[in-house]
Amino acid sequence: MAAAAAFCNVNNAYGIKKLRQDNNNLVKNHHLQRNYSTLYAVQGPLLRSYDIIQTRYDQAFTSILRAKQEHARNRSLLECRAERGTALTEQQVEKDEDVSRATLIWRAIKLPMYTVGLIPASVGAAAAYLETGYFSPERYFGSLAAFVLIIAWVNLSNDVYDYDTGADKNKKESVVNLVGSRTAINVIAWLLLVLGSGGLSWVAEEAGSPHSLLLLACTVFCCYIYQCPPFRLSYLGLGEPLCFAAFGPFATIGFICSSGTSELPISSTVISASTLVGFTSSLILLCSHFHRTMKLGKISPLVRLGTEAGANVVKMAVLGLYWLVFAFGLSDTLPYASLIFCTTTLPMGNLVVNFVQENHKSLFLRMGFDFKDKSKIFMAKYFSVRLHTIFGAALTAGLWHPDCFQESNFQS
C-alpha cells in the first residue's frame, strides 16, 4: 500500500497522472520535450548559441543560393542573346553571300593576295638596279607573270587540302565549294605550278643565274610544306616563319639575282630589303587568323595566344617594322630615300594597329563569352595587304631613286 501511494503521489511528479500529461504533450507538440535537470542546466546557453549560429548559417546559405540562381539566370540570358546575335550574323552573312555570287568569286580569287608576288619582284628589280645599274623589263615581267602562277597554285592547292581536312567545309568562298569538283581544282593548281616553274627557269637561264632558280625553288618548297600533305605545317602554327622565309629572303633575293647580272653579290642592302618584305608578308598571314578558332584545326599563333595577345603581337610587329626601317636607314644599309618614303606609310601602319585593337573582340567577348565579331576582324588581313603594298612600293621607290633627297637635287 505504501508503494502504491508513493507511485500515485502527484506532488512528487510521478505516477499515472504524470504519464498522461506527458502523453498529452507528445500529441500536442508532435515531438518530445526533454526536461533537463539542474545537473545539465549549464548547457542551456550553449544550446541557444548553437541555435543562433545555425540560424545565421541557414540565412547566409540561402543568400548565397539566391545569388547563384540570379547569376545563372543572368548568364543564361546573356548566352541566349549571344547565340541569337551569332545566329543573326550568320543568317545575314549567308543572305549576303546568296545574293551575290560575284562577291564569292571575288573572295575566292583573292586578288589582293597576289601582292605577295608583286612586291618581292619589284623590290628585287629595284635593288638589282641600285647595285648594278641594269634593268631588264623582259626579265621583270617574265618573273612577275611566272610568280603570279605560283601564287595561284598556292591559293588553289590551299583550298583543296583545307577541303580534305574539313577546315573549309562551311567556307562558301572556297574555290572547291564554288566549282564543286575537288579533282578539277587540284589538277588546275598543279598545272599552274608547272607553268610557273617553267617561266622562272626561263628567266634564270636568261640571266645566267642558277642561284636565282635555287632560291625561288626554296620559295616553292616552303609553300608546299606549309599546306600540302604529309607536312601541313600551317596546322602546327609554323605558317608565319615559312611565309617570312618564302617571300622575304628566298623570293626577293631570287628576283634580285634574276634581274641583275650573274655576278651580283649579296650585299647588306639586299639582305635588309628582303627582310622588310618578309616582315610585311608574314604580317598578312598573321592578321588573316584572327577569325580562326580551334575547331578548324589550324593551330596558328593567334589561336594559341588568343585575340588579346595576338593584337599586341600585331602592334609589336608593326612597331618592329618601322624600327628596322630607321635602323637600316640611319646605318646606310638602305638609301636615305627609302627611309623617307617608308616613313610616309606610318599612317597605314597605325591604321592596322588601331583596327585590330578595336575590333579583335566584341562586347560579349569582353564580358567573358567567346563571341567574336568575325564580320569586322575579317577585314584585318586586307588592311595588312594595303600596308604590305604601299610599304613595298615606298621601298621600291627609294631603291630606284636613292639620290632624290640629296642636297644637290634641291639646290638645282
Note the pLDDT tens digit of each residue in 280-300: 999 999 988 876 655 556 778
pLDDT in tens, 78-118: 555 545 544 444 444 444 445 477 787 887 888 888 999 99
Average pLDDT over residues 376-400: 92
Q: What does the DSSP 8-state code read for residue 236?
A: G
- How far apart, in whole angstroms, are the C-alpha atoms of residue 145 and residue 167? 30
Q: What pLDDT was estimated at residue 171?
A: 78
Q: Per the structure, how many domains does the chain have?
A: 1
Q: In this predicted structure, what is the pLDDT of residue 1? A: 45
102 domain-assigned: no
From CA 309, how far away is CA 360, in angstroms rounded? 10
> Tell me, what's the pLDDT at 119?
96
Task: Please compute the mean of the pLDDT values over residues 207-216 and round it to a whole number.
Answer: 91
- Which residues are within 8 A (CB) of 311 and not within 5 positions of it... i.e. 6 or more apart? 356, 357, 360
Q: Are 168 and 174 in contact (CB under 8 A)?
A: yes
Across residues 252-276, what is the average pLDDT?
87
Q: Which residue has the higher pLDDT, 181 or 99?
A: 181
Q: Measure the CA–CA gap between 350 and 346, rounded to whole angstroms.
A: 6
pLDDT at 184 over 90: yes
Q: Mean per-residue pLDDT for 48-69?
A: 65
Three cell numbers written together for 77: 540570358
Give start and end residues of each alpha helix (H) in 133-207: 137-165, 175-179, 182-207
On the question of pLDDT at 373 being above 90, the answer is no
Q: What pLDDT score was predicted for residue 299?
A: 78
In the prediction, which pLDDT does 96 show? 45
Whether residue 279 is contained in a domain is answered as: yes
> Which comes out higher in pLDDT, residue 23 or 330?
330
What amino acid is encoded at 264 in this protein? Answer: L
Q: Which amino acid is residue 80, in one-letter code? A: C
Is residue 304 predicted with pLDDT exceeding 90? no
- For 325, the domain range is 109-405
pLDDT for 46 equals: 55
pLDDT score for 57: 60
Average pLDDT of the chain? 79
Tell whether 334 is covered by a domain: yes
Q: Which of 289, 296, 309, 295 is nearest to 240 (CA)?
A: 289
Q: Answer yes or no: are the C-beta atoms of 255 and 214 closer than 8 Å.
A: no
E strand or H helix that includes residue 74: helix 44-99
Q: Would residue 101 count as lying in a domain?
A: no
Q: What pLDDT is attached to residue 306?
A: 82
Buried b (16+ CB within 10 A) or exposed e, 182-191: beebbebbee
Q: Which amino acid is at 53?
A: I
- In the chain, % of residues over pLDDT 70: 68
Query: Is a pLDDT exceeding 80 seen at residue 40?
Result: no
Q: Of the given ranges (2-16, 148-162, 289-303), which has the lowest mean pLDDT?
A: 2-16
Asked if the structure places residue 398 within a domain, the reply is yes
Q: Specify the pLDDT at position 169.
A: 76
Q: How confident is the model at residue 342 (pLDDT cuts 50, 70, 90)?
A: very high
What is the rounded average pLDDT of the residues 120-144? Answer: 93
Q: Give the span between the Cα atoms of 94 and 78, in whole angstroms.
A: 24
Q: Which SS3 state, helix, strand or coil, does residue 194 take?
A: helix
Return the H-helix or E-strand segment holding 28. Answer: helix 16-29
Percentage, residues of the chain above pLDDT 90: 46
Residue 92 within any structural domain of the chain: no
Whether the per-residue pLDDT at 265 is higher than 80: the answer is no
Closest by CA position to 318, among listed 289, 357, 292, 291 = 357
Determine, yes or no, domain membership for 61. Answer: no
Q: How confident is the model at residue 308 (pLDDT cuts 50, 70, 90)?
A: confident
Higher pLDDT, 23 or 352: 352
| pLDDT computed for residue 72 by the predictor | 67
Mean of the pLDDT values across residues 222-249?
93
215: nearest Cα among 259, 246, 261: 246
**56 — pLDDT class (breaks 50, 70, 90):** low
- Is the pLDDT at 385 greater than 90? The verdict is yes
Band of residue 334 on the pLDDT scale cut at 50, 70, 90: very high
What mean pLDDT is predicted for residues 373-377?
64
**pLDDT value at position 75?**
65
The answer to the question of residue 14 being in a domain is no
Give the C-alpha separation, 259 to 138, whole Å. 9
Contact in structure between 359 and 368 (CB atoms under 8 Å): no
Q: How many Å apart are CA 82 and CA 84, to the nearest integer?
A: 5
pLDDT in tens, 246-258: 999 999 999 999 9
pTM of the entire structure?
0.73
